[in-house]
Structure 1
Amino acid sequence: MKKRVKSSLLIFITSMMVLFIAACNDSEELQTVKVGEVTRSIFYAPQYVAITQGFFEEEGLNIELSTVAGGDKTMTALLSGGIDIALVGSETSIYVSAQGANDPIKNFAQLTQTDGTFLVAREEIADFSWDMLEGSTFLGQRKGGMPQMAGEFVLKKHGIDPQADLELIQNIDFANISTAFASGTGDFVQLFEPTASVFEEEGIGHIVASFGTESGHLPYTVFMAKDSFLKEDPETIEKFTRALKKAQDFVYEASVSEVAEAIHPYFEDTEVELIATVVERYREQESFAKDPILDEEEWNNLQDIMDEAGELPKRMDYNELVDTTFAEKVLE
């Protein structure tokens, strides 16, 4: 009897050791890729889905994700080698290129295809119209950033001069905009989710319009890397893009509640039900890109919006800063 127990125990221990060694080997085989996101937002749901659902691991990648607040800081991290891939507005690649970078930044996979902000009013408005912003205090986004440029584009589209027809505040750091509004600054504010919905739930403000539906399709948030990285390690970029496409399919094909549960680990302080509401809102207006390809029409729309805002240093050729090679392979 004792021999059987010892034998069974030995088999169990041996099996556990084999599993442990196998797990270690699997972990060692994964290639770590450092990704820096410009902010943490439900707007980036496919990225978190790709991590939590194991799509990156299926491709042999271990994603080391960090949040680098602000487009300028994100690009600094990318240029200095602090991160391998940046998730940020594609306008930043234009700014860097215009300064004469020796190692150009290439946009290789699109994550979102509309503006992700919403117009939040301090008071509840039953029948909102854009002319209600005239004479108001509008708490906007950082000057030169895509949210602010898209916001100004929409205001002008509705006949409002953001520099003359309202008091435009845009000197508050991105991370402090919501806090400023909550403490009483501004009649209207331009906010990302889930903050906009949280404010609505808490009675701090009320969502009255979507900048995403008003500004049209554009490469709002894109994965980009230095040209040298794409050339030196194309296999990694292709694997990364393939995992992203799996996540994009999941976001549109799974139920809203499944998507919310999948990304909840990245928003632990937000209720799953609220996350689901936000996901549904973004999905309905097709803010999440359905594939990783950044097309030329979107690129031109981006530059038109930048030009309208007076922030376009010079017009950049689509083929110079966009590389769809990897996305096209993934879609084959």
Structure 2
Amino acid sequence: MTLSFLLLFSLFFIGCSSKPKQQTIRVAEVTRSIFYAPQYVALSEGFFEKEGINVELTTTWGGDKTMTTLLSDGADIALVGSETSIYVYAQGTTDPVINFAQLTQTDGTFLVSRNKVENFTWEHLKGSTFLGQRKGGMPQMVGEFVLKKHHIDPKQDLQLIQNIDFANIASAFASGTGDYVQLFEPQATLFEQQGIGHIVASFGSESGKVPYTVFMTKQSFLNENKDVIERYTKAIYEAQQWVAVHSNKEIAESISPFFEDTPLSLIETVVDRYKSQGSFATDPILDKTEWNNLQNIMDEAGELPKRVDYNILVNTEFAEKALQ
């Protein structure tokens, strides 16, 4: 009886101790978007919890605000465009921001026309008023890159508006500003359903692969919390693989708690749009080709302060371990 009790107690103790102690990590995301579906899957499906991580997620609405939050120790990890790490490095920081896990690999915006356009071509933008994104941010730089690719000078061939705050761009278009607007989902599809605009093109399909949205942290935090970063990246990779093999409906159902005011059918439509154009990275590795493409786009937009070597601001150690 005593031996059986001790054996049962030991098994119970081992079972309890095998569950990792939960550590809270503060994450600042640049916006709340279905574009980041794998992140929400990692949360809703318990992949972070399995790795002993309790994510405290805050939406900071804009690249500048997100990076300020990270640099001022208001967050441990930021989910934001890789260009922000280059801007910080160019300012001469002693504690650079390191990109360690990629979440999205294309631009996530769509071109929305106020009026329905039959047989759209990019030439239709000439002479129009184009409501773009914030100067220096990835959406705007990719937007200009794509326009130039189609032989449109964004400074000469159209009226470019880019002085409206990120959070107010959609409402500005809805109130009558601009013939065309560059929007993230689900706003683009929602406007189409409401008759406010019509999706005519995808910037993501046009721009090629870039490290558009990446998890990053300060070098000091990474040095002191390598185990946490490794487990965090592992959870992200598991979510990326989950998204790759599950249906659009299953993904929509998984992330719907993060979009309570968005109909499930709309979430599913948006997931399909992003998944079909390869926007969701299927692994967290940010490769050199993507890094160089990013800097080429920044250079083309006149926003690249200086070229930064891949190995300085990108650390793939944790992503590579996750794949193993």
TM-score range, shorter chain: over 0.9
Deviation at 1:29, TM superposition (A): 2.6
Change beyond 3 A, Cα 1:96–1:260: same
The residue type equivalent to 1:165 in the other structure is: D
- 1:168 maps to 2:160: yes
CA distance in 2, matches of 1:206, 1:181: 12
- 1:257 maps to 2:249: yes
CA distance in 2, matches of 1:42, 1:65: 15
CA distance in 2, matches of 1:27, 1:33: 18
Matches within 5 A, 1:33-112: 33-112=25-104
Question: Which residue is equivalent to 1:17?
Answer: none
Q: Which runs of 4+ in 1 moved over 2 A?
A: 25-29
- 1:308 maps to 2:303: no
Question: Which residue is equivalent to 1:124?
Answer: 116
- 1:227 maps to 2:219: yes
- 1:241 maps to 2:206: no
The residue type equivalent to 1:65 in the other structure is: L
Any idea what the Cα deviations from partners look like across 1:59-91, whole Å, max 9, x if unmatched?
Answer: 000000000011111111101110000000000
Match of 1:202 among 187, 194, 197: 194
CA distance in 1, matches of 2:273, 2:200: 13
- 1:279 maps to 2:271: yes
CA distance in 2, matches of 1:193, 1:260: 13
Question: Which residue is equivalent to 1:292?
Answer: 284
CA distance in 1, matches of 2:299, 2:289: 15
CA distance in 2, matches of 1:250, 1:26: 24
Question: Which residue is equivalent to 2:127?
Answer: 135
CA distance in 2, matches of 1:55, 1:45: 14
CA distance in 2, matches of 1:46, 1:143: 27
The residue type equivalent to 1:30 in the other structure is: Q
2:20/2:51 contact within 8 Å kept: no
- 1:211 maps to 2:203: yes
CA distance in 2, matches of 1:168, 1:27: 54
What SS does the aligned partner of 1:87 have? strand
CA distance in 2, matches of 1:247, 1:203: 34
Deviation at 1:250, TM superposition (A): 1.1
TM-score by length of structure 1 reads 0.92
Gaps of 5+ in 1: 1-21
The residue type equivalent to 1:286 in the other structure is: G
Match of 1:186 among 162, 178, 181: 178
CA distance in 1, matches of 2:260, 2:118: 32
Gaps of 5+ in 2: 1-14
CA distance in 1, matches of 2:300, 2:19: 49
Any idea what the Cα deviations from partners look like across 1:294-316, whole Å, max 9, x if unmatched?
Answer: 00000000000000000000000
CA distance in 2, matches of 1:299, 1:250: 25
The residue type equivalent to 2:94 in the other structure is: N
Any idea what the Cα deviations from partners look like across 1:239-264, whole Å, max 9, x if unmatched?
Answer: 00000001101111111100000010
Question: Which residue is equivalent to 1:324?
Answer: 316
Larger Rg: 1
2:20/2:52 contact within 8 Å kept: no
The residue type equivalent to 1:219 in the other structure is: P
What SS does the aligned partner of 1:126 have? coil
Question: Which residue is equivalent to 1:3?
Answer: none
TM-score by length of structure 2 reads 0.94
Question: Which residue is equivalent to 1:9?
Answer: none
Deviation at 1:26, TM superposition (A): 10
What is the aligned residue count?
310
The residue type equivalent to 1:152 in the other structure is: E
CA distance in 2, matches of 1:242, 1:126: 46
What SS does the aligned partner of 2:154 have? coil
CA distance in 2, matches of 1:147, 1:206: 19
Question: Which residue is equivalent to 2:259?
Answer: 267
The residue type equivalent to 1:147 in the other structure is: P
RMSD: 1.4
CA distance in 1, matches of 2:124, 2:300: 22
What SS does the aligned partner of 2:58 have? strand
The residue type equivalent to 1:204 in the other structure is: I
- 1:146 maps to 2:134: no
CA distance in 2, matches of 1:148, 1:119: 12
CA distance in 2, matches of 1:212, 1:46: 17
CA distance in 2, matches of 1:73, 1:174: 11
